[in-house]
Chains A and B, each alone.
Chain A
Amino acid sequence: MDQKEQEEAINKILGKIKALPTLSIVVAKVIQVVSNPLTSASDLSRIITVDQALTAKVLRLANSAFYGFPFRIKNITQAVSILGFDTIRNLALTVSVYKVFTGENDSDFSHQDFWKHCVGVAICASLLAKKIKYRSPEGAFTAGLLHDIGKNFFEQFMHKEYRDVMKLAKERNISVYEAENEIMHIDHAVVGKMMAEKWNLPHELKAGIAAHHHPEQETEENVMAHIINVADIICKKKSIGFSGDYVIMPISKEGRELFSLDEAGEAELMNSLDKELKEAEAFVNMPQ
């Protein structure tokens, strides 16, 4: 393929990203009002409840064992007052993003396993964030859920080519993003970054998506990039779900230092991850 053809292929992809449906207006508003400190739980509830399906899904997640609140949360106002503004924002975001992608299972690539990988990374990211007292463990959770969103895009909109990517990665024993670059000339992190831009996702989420293979490239939200990078590797090591990758990169020196992951630290993290995963059933089986 010559350079011109390559450019055309990339432009075709960019066009498809542009044509992606917008996230709901509701979610856009949610992101906006949550950043205002004078927002009350009722304000946020008024915005979310406009979308009944979204409301029901958010409530289902809020009442899941993952949060484990001792009695039933009946409405969005309560959910916000109890779980917090950030949690509800992120639940709404997750539900909406997830809604954009629905697809049939495939023998090579199970959506169920892929999503489980994302949930694992989300939980692991939030554990890492808490460990180093990162300002927003909630944000880390959501960035973890969304970090491979570019793969969803390929899977849904370039299904045939993506089969080839998966095959190539497996045959040549290279990482998926290397195979993507070879076949599509663009990888899922770059695509994910563009999607985040299109959807006006908060910068910390964009950083987690865009730089999860190369955290050193992200300056402003460097810690978030490292969180997602390490969480991704840990979940691959532990075979939580399946991301399509057979190649597992080692944890970088910076990552080990940042999260104090010596042998004991890593074992402890894996332990907590196991425990929390058991409670995250509601996320693994996302409401359709």
Chain B
Amino acid sequence: MSQTEEDIKEIKELKEYTNNLEVINEGLRQSFEELTTLYRLVEIIAEAKTLERVLNSLLDLVSEIISCQGAMLFLVDEKTGEVDIALKRNISRKIEQKVNLQNKQKVIEWTLKKGKTIAMPDIEEDPSDSEKVTFVLVPLIAHDKPVGLIDIITDTPEGDITTKDLSLLTILAKQAALSIENVKLYESMKRDQISIIRALSSTVDAKDHFTLGHSQKVSEYSLKIAEAMGLPERDVENIKYAALLHDIGKIAIPDDIIKKPTKLTPEEFEKVRKHPVIGAMIIKEIESLAPMVPIILHHHERYDGKGYPDGIKGDAIPLGARIVHVTDAYDTMVSARAYRDMIPQELAVSELRKNAGTQFDPAVVEAFITILRKNSVGYDGQNGA
């Protein structure tokens, strides 16, 4: 071999080597991009706090992995084990009919049982049907238990879907399934919590038939005021449930005092005044209800500082407690009590207005009257004042 021939050979080898490197480099770049995408998608799913949001973002994200004309999300009913549509995206009636076929249901059951992501052609063999679609079925499995399934409708023929597509979808589905489980768990805890609150609140109301439904009404009014005042969602909810529990401390007060038709003696009144402190002590024991404790404790504080138990005033009183103080007073006035008949609504409103700034927070009173005026046809708060 001459010198030139050897040189040429060497150059060729070098070129081949560089080409190989470029191929490897391109492969690495692609893998990196995929990982980045996947990481982002998984994070979005994990952040979603409600079932609706998890499901919606899952359907949003699927289209980043595979070209997707529409998609459906099925959830497995925990009690019956049945699979039902939970969410649809761009699903034509024709597609929906195809999904409702007996065969398709069986395929969905099979996929859930095997826990496998599959792509399959249109089952219905209709030659006149030019619109061929592929269904990609991705089971959602959390802790070895099927929780649901994504059914992706794509125009990519089933043969063109790669291992990579399927495994990306499977990883995404895995995370989604875990999120769905978490959200479900959270929502069921939330439901339990609400049941506990309702049960506790009805024990107080049950003590005295005159106050039946009082806590419920105070809660409804307080919720509306909190919303009208533009409080954050979390605070609104907190106020709503704290209002349900505001009188819980009364279970510690003897029945004969609570039901007494005549004026209370100073000693008896002293006992009644303890109910906010007792209520706060009871609720403090339930950790998840802790944010409600200050509202319960201070719902008898007056805006001018002459209330109880601590005699704090103005903004030092938690806003939730200031709201409940108004709605509690109002509902007590417009309801019959053991010791008196009900007071007409107009009179109650004028009482609120008269005591705004002394007993009541004027901003709360203002918001409340606006709500009452809006909701009550034939009532004109202006005239009542």
Contacts and interface: CB of A to CB of B under 8 A. Distances in A.
A68 interface: yes
B116 A68 contact: no
Contact of A39 (B103, B120, B123, B163): B163
Interface stretch (B13-21, B154-162, B365-373): B154-162
Nearest to A42: B159
A37 B167 contact: yes
A21 interface: no
Nearest to A68: B110
A53 interface: no
A101 interface: no
B158 A77 contact: yes
Interface in A1-42: 34, 36-42
A37 B120 contact: no
Given A69-B110, A81-B119, A41 B158 contact: yes
B106 interface: yes
Nearest to A70: B106
A84 interface: yes
Interface string B71-86: 0000000000000000
Contacts of B162: 37-40
A71 B103 contact: yes
A255 B214 CA distance: 66
B73 to A, nearest CB: 21
Contact of A78 (B110, B158, B164): B158
Contacts of B120: 78, 81-82
B178 interface: no
Nearest to A86: B163
A140 to B, nearest CB: 16
A223 to B, nearest CB: 19
A1 to B, nearest CB: 51
Q: How large is the interface on B (under 10, 10 to 19, 20 to 34, 35 or more residues)?
A: 20 to 34
Interface string B29-63: 00000000000000000000000000000000000
A40 B159 contact: yes
Given A38-B162, A41-B161, A81 B106 contact: no
Nearest to A37: B164
A84 B163 CA distance: 8
A70 B106 CA distance: 6
Contacts of B119: 41, 81-82
Interface in B113-162: 116, 118-121, 123, 157-162
A175 interface: no
Interface residues of A, number: 21
A45 interface: yes
B114 to A, nearest CB: 8
A38 B164 contact: yes
A67 to B, nearest CB: 8
Contacts of A162: none
B29 to A, nearest CB: 14
B107 interface: yes
A80 B119 CA distance: 9
Interface string A56-75: 00000000000011110000
A217 B9 CA distance: 46
Nearest to A34: B163
Nearest to B116: A84
Nearest to B136: A81
B164 A81 contact: no
Contacts of B159: 40-42, 45, 77, 80-81
Interface in B162-178: 162-164, 167
A42 B163 contact: no
Contact of B118 (A38, A42, A45, A81): A81
Nearest to B31: A37
A70 B102 CA distance: 10
A70 B110 contact: yes
B115 to A, nearest CB: 9
A85 to B, nearest CB: 5
Contacts of B157: 42
A80 B118 CA distance: 9
Contacts of B161: 40-41, 81
A276 to B, nearest CB: 13
Contacts of A78: 120-121, 158
Contacts of A69: 107, 110
Interface in A37-51: 37-42, 45
Contacts of A40: 159-162
Nearest to A69: B110
B26 to A, nearest CB: 12
16 contacts: A37-B163, A38-B163, A39-B162, A40-B160, A41-B119, A41-B161, A69-B107, A69-B110, A70-B106, A70-B110, A71-B103, A78-B120, A81-B119, A81-B161, A84-B118, A85-B163
Interface of A: 34, 36-42, 45, 68-71, 77-78, 80-85
Nearest 5 pairs of A and B residues by beta carbon: A42-B159, A70-B106, A81-B119, A37-B164, A77-B159
